[in-house]
Structure 1
Amino acid sequence: MTLLSYERLCSEIVAQTRLLTSSIEGADLTVPVPSCPGWNVGQLLRHLGGGQRWAADMVRARATEALSDDHFRDLSPYADEDPAVVGPWLTEGAAELAEALREAGPDARMWTPVPGGNAAFFARRFVHETALHRADAILALGAEFTLQQEVALDALDEWMELGSLPFHFEVHPWMRELLGPGRTLHFHATDTAPEAHAEWVVDLTGEVIAWRRAHEKAAVAVRGPLTELLLLVYKRRPAHGGAVEVLGDAKLLDFWLERVSFG
């Protein structure tokens, strides 16, 4: 369940896109994106904008199956993008998606890649898709990435929810190897107030992956700023030698990061 209202999600897609476009003004978009190997910043932006437009098409059509997303799958033609062109294009696509979501309402039924099947899924997913690709672009350009606390908290919750869905064992059988006795991970944001309850436990001791917001002893604990934890679980930051502290079974953390996936 999201921490953000449906209207906030709709407006946040636009807000995150606006932050992204303001960060690329006058930038060299041919800079490679280390977290998205094979893409430069301009290609990353076309990927994001294409995804937003695909989601808008899905929502408007109340599609009962996934529509083709062939547009922007081949990013080779977009290796030399101009910020003055791609920026307004991104803004337009984000506004189209937000408008389609508002018109549909959160409970509008449609195909989604995970169980649930409503517009609320696309609203939440594209807030965090946009925010994390904003991080990809900003970090590639050498700037600092920041994210509002409530958005970062919801992004981590969503990541935990999606990453623990049982159907992953069918799509990614290797994820079953994560399960085993004593395998628990604790993530603790060190820069939030106690009332934010910014702690997550991933429990791999049962027959499925489980997670909960909790303060518990675990086989491995990871402590650091909230945004750094988010970048870590999305594999945008290394687990070691960065801004987070790892206590306990570091090999379990590495194994979990290697195997866990919701893409």
Structure 2
Amino acid sequence: MPPLALPYPVYLDHIRTESRRFREALATCDPDARVPACPDWTAADLLWHLAGVQWFWARTARTRPAPPSEDLLAPERPATYDGLLAAFDEHSASLVAELEAAGPDAEAWHWAPVQTVGTSYRRQAHEALIHRLDAEQTAGSVTPLDPALAADGVLEVVDVMYGGDAPGWGRFEPSDHLVRIDLADPDAAIWVRPGTLSGTDPDTGEVHDGPHLQVVDEPDAAASAVVAGAAADLDAWLWNRRDAAGITVTGDPAAYDAFRAAVSQPLD
């Protein structure tokens, strides 16, 4: 696996920076403006979404290692846009404070396999980054994504959001395809094997039978297909926040189709 992960203090700095830029983009935005990547949302909905996410993970770090209760009540949504901005300020500051106080090695519940506060350092840095992009697209003024954070974002989205090891209740059936994702900045490659995940989640009763990915170490075999581009372009594309302009695909179309099937599910 490529050494793309960032030091935990850097993730925390990105949560601060991306959250601030998110707020700045929305502060003077029309509250009813539609979010291009999530057209059911307005700017006000987007603001409250990230406020709620940051509230939840601040609370999870504070009450670690207990999982959230099924009857957990979220804060009431403010009635005004100024109230939403104030609530976001409160919950965003609380998230940074709770993560910093706990430290990345502390045990804490998470839906992802690694049950530490550090998982939230990383996940919330990418959550803030992608929603900052949403905010800027909504406001009509998009600025660049940090290349190092975006490169780790590509790894996280294929290894955690769209893929990863099969849970205990599931079975991963790998295909014969190997897909290499080439990042131009930094110069790195991520190898993934598309396949199918099947099984029934005993906690939810949900039946899974669909495309999935596993990140693999660089193999001795050649790639069936190669997807290449700048890290920022690939990260935004994989999150369905932009088109594929500037991204090149070479190799076996069937391998690419298997990859795309695994990364085409909607993500908020």
TM over 0.5: yes
Aligned partner of 1:165 in structure 2 is 164
Assess, with a 3 A threshold, how the Cα gap between structure 1 residues 28 and 100 changes in structure 2: closer, same or farther.
same
How many residue pairs end up in the alignment?
247
Aligned partner of 2:100 in structure 1 is 102
Deviation of the 1:143 alpha carbon: 2.2
Secondary structure of 1:204's aligned partner: strand
- Counterpart CA distance in 2 for 1:262 and 1:161 is 16
Aligned partner of 1:184 in structure 2 is 178
Alignment counterpart, residue 41 of structure 1, candidates 18, 39, 43? 43
- The aligned amino acid for 1:234 is W
> For the aligned residues, what is the CA RMSD?
3.2
- The aligned amino acid for 2:166 is F
- 2:190 corresponds to 1:200: yes
- For residues 5-40 of structure 1, give each alpha carbon's deviation from its aligned partner in whole angstroms, at most 9, with x where no partner exists: 222222221111001111223211312223224111
- For residues 148-184 of structure 1, give each alpha carbon's deviation from its aligned partner in whole angstroms, at most 9, with x where no partner exists: 122112222222331332236957x7xx57x311x12
For the Cα contact (< 8 Å) 2:54–2:92, is it kept in 1?
Answer: yes
- For residues 83-123 of structure 1, give each alpha carbon's deviation from its aligned partner in whole angstroms, at most 9, with x where no partner exists: x4433432322211111011111121121112221111111
- Counterpart CA distance in 2 for 1:203 and 1:7 is 31
Which of the pair is proportionally richer in strand?
A: 2
Aligned partner of 1:89 in structure 2 is 87
TM-score by length of 2: 0.78
Aligned partner of 1:256 in structure 2 is 259
Deviation of the 1:226 alpha carbon: 1.5
- The aligned amino acid for 1:224 is G
Secondary structure of 2:191's aligned partner: strand
- Counterpart CA distance in 2 for 1:215 and 1:81 is 58
- Counterpart CA distance in 1 for 2:218 and 2:237 is 17
Aligned partner of 1:54 in structure 2 is 56
Deviation of the 1:262 alpha carbon: 10
Alignment counterpart, residue 125 of structure 1, candidates 119, 123, 127? 123
Q: Structure 1: which 5+ runs fail to align? A: none
Aligned partner of 1:221 in structure 2 is 226
